[in-house]
Amino acid sequence: MQQTIGTKVETPNQVIVKLPDGVYQLDRTISGLVLPSGINPSDYAMIHSLRTDGSDANYSAASAISMNQGFNRLKYEPAHVEVLKLGLAVSTPAQFMPHLRNVNDALNGRGVLYDAVGNLIEGERLEQYSKILNYGHWVWLNASFPKGGGFLGLDLATITGLDDEENPIKRLVPLERCLEDDGWADIDSLNSQGFPTRKAGIDKYEPGKTLYFLKPQRDRVAGSCAVGVWLCLLCDRNPLDQYSSLGVFPVFNAGSLAH
C-alpha cells in the first residue's frame, strides 16, 4: 500500500514533521490495513517506509505490528506456531529494527507513526509505546542461524507458515554481512535483514540511535531485549528458553497466509 500523505503546503488536520529535505505537513488520518477477524487494528502500528521527493511525502506499508508484547512463556518454535494459528507471524529483525527507529523518529518530530486503522499515533499514546520499545520488552524475533553458505558460515532461517501438521515451514537464505563482534552498533547501519553493519560512535545506549549487538551464532535464534539502560539485539539465544517475561510482538503481513 502506497499513498501520498502530505506536502510542504499547510492544510487543516495535519501534523508538522521535519524530514531530511524540509518541513512537511502530514495527514493525521490515512488509509489503514484490514487485519484478521478478532484482531483490533488500533492495537497495531503500521510498519512503514516514508519517502519524499521535494514536494510530496509518500508512505508505504504492507505490515502492522502489535503495540503490546504477548504469547509469553513459550519456547521459540511454539511461540511461532501459536501466532501463526491466528493468521499473524512473529516479527523479523528486518521488520522490527527499522520500526523501532521509525518510532523514535516520530517521538522526536522527525517522522510519523500510524495505527492499522490509519490514525496518527501521537502524544501520550506515542510516548507510552516508545517506552515499551526502548525500555521494557523481551521478545523472540523471527530469525535463526543454521550452518550455511552466508556470512560467518551461516544461513538466515525465517518461519513463514505451518504445514498440514502445524510444523513450522522455514525459508533459508544466506546471512548477509553484519558486525562480527559483539558491541555497540549504529541503528542507521542496518542491512536488508535487519542486522547492524557498523559500530556505534559512542559506547552507550541512545534510543533510536544505538543498540548492543550480540552476533549470530550457529543454531541459535534472535531476540530483542530492552531493560532500562540498554537495548540489545541478541542473535545467540537458546530456542528452548522459556520465561514468563519472554514473548513476541506479532505482526500482520498483508496478503500472507499462515497456512
Domain boundaries, the chain: 2-253
The answer to whether 113 touches 61, Cβ cutoff 8 Å, is: no
8 A C-beta contact, residue 250 and residue 88: yes
pTM above 0.85, yes or no: yes
Q: Residue 64: what pLDDT?
A: 98
pLDDT at residue 55 in the model = 82
Cα within 13 Å of Cα(207), Cβ side: 23
What pLDDT is attached to residue 210? 97
Q: What pLDDT does 54 receive?
A: 80
Mean pLDDT by 10 residues, the chain (259 residues): 58 82 91 93 96 87 97 98 97 98 95 97 98 97 99 99 96 99 98 99 95 99 94 98 98 63
Is 124 in a helix, a strand, or coil? helix
Phi, psi angle pair for 84, to nearest 5°: -65, -30
